[in-house]
Amino acid sequence: MQRIKQGDEVIVTTGKDKGRRGKVMSILKNDRVMVENINVVKKHTKPNPMAGVEGGIIEKEMSIHISNIMPFNPASNKGDRIGIKTLEDGKKIRVFKSNNENVDV
């Protein structure tokens, strides 16, 4: 079971966007994730009239390593670690380590 899933609200722990929050848009291979409005870079593009692409400087979100983010705990307003708990019926759920609350509400 993954500790961070698509749609989770996370907080950045290191880097230029430290302390900012965002929602996980997708999880990529090699332990990288796309978080909305985090790690925004400027990319210079050439125009391509055949493909209908305008040239210029565009802002684009880039991926960030999964070790640089933490799931956001709304009860404590901080990033928190996640543990896996097995219920009596055998179903696994994700819980915050600090207060044992269910992550998937």
Tell which phi-psi region holds residue 10, choosing left (phi > 0), alpha (psi between -120 and 50) or beta: beta
Q: Model pTM?
A: 0.84
CB–CB of 57/44 below 8 Å? yes
Domain 9-79 carries which CATH code? 2.30.30.30
Residue ranges per structural domain of the chain = 9-79
CB–CB of 11/70 below 8 Å? yes
What is the tens place of the pLDDT at every residue in 1-14? 789 999 999 999 99
What is the tens place of the pLDDT at every residue in 23-70? 999 999 999 999 999 999 999 999 999 999 999 999 999 999 999 999
